[in-house]
Each structure stands twice: as structure tokens, then as C-alpha cells.
A = this chain, B = another copy of it.
Amino acid sequence: MSITIRPLDDRVVIEEVEAEEKTAGGIVLPDTAKEKPQRGRVLAVGPGKLLDNGERASIGLAVGDEILFGKYSGTEIKVNGKEVKILRESEVLAKIVN
């Protein structure tokens, strides 16, 4: 049985991208940084942040996007044997475009 998790609000579910891919992709994430950034791939996107008028802001990320995020951001969980993280959109630093 396979299951899916759907993040709430402005949260996204991501999986970390492995070290081999990191070198190939031309991005080096320095060990000396205060909060070492990590590279990940978006698996699921929430409905967006609740605005003061009761609507929701659209999220600037889509499933499949590669991203950079802070190492200590979010909550770890294992879904169908795969380790994933639930982050808020505001914890995502940037999208990576090849």
C-alpha cells in the first residue's frame, strides 16, 4: 500500500538530493556556513499561506523543483521507505535551474 502526504498552509514536502548529484550540478554547499544549506527536490506543495482577507497566496514552487534550504529547517519523516522533510515555503532559499 502506498501513501501520500499533503502539506498544510504554506508547507512543502521535499526529499534531499544526494551528494553525487550535488557535485555534478555545479553547486558546492560550504561546510563553513553558519547554517549549511542543503539541496532538495519538491514532492508536494500545500495550498498556500492564509491571507488577511481569507484567501490563500499561491506558492512559488511546483512538484519536481530543485531547491536550496537550511540544514536545520523542517521536520523529518519516512514515507514509503523514503526520508522526506516538511518545510515552510519561507524556509526555502532559492530554486535551482539547470
List residues of A whose CB falls within 8 A of some B CB: 1-9, 11, 13, 24-30, 32-35, 37, 44, 47, 49-55, 57-58, 60-61, 68, 70, 75-81, 83, 86, 89-90, 92-98
Instruction: Knowing A51-B54, A54-B57, A93-B11, say if A68 contacts B26 (CB, 8 Å).
Output: no
Q: Is the CB of B2 within 8 A of A26?
A: yes
CA distance A30 to B82 in the complex (A): 12
Closest to A5 in B: B94
Kindly provide the distance from the CB of A19 to the nearest chain B CB, expressed in whole angstroms: 14
Of the residues B8, B89, B97, contact of A92 by C-beta under 8 Å: B8
Of the residues B1, B2, B55, B76, contact of A24 by C-beta under 8 Å: B1
Kindly provide the distance from the CB of A53 to the nearest chain B CB, expressed in whole angstroms: 7
Kindly provide the distance from the CB of A2 to the nearest chain B CB, expressed in whole angstroms: 6
Kindly provide the distance from the CB of A64 to the nearest chain B CB, expressed in whole angstroms: 14
Which residues of B have CB within 8 Å of A13? Answer: 94
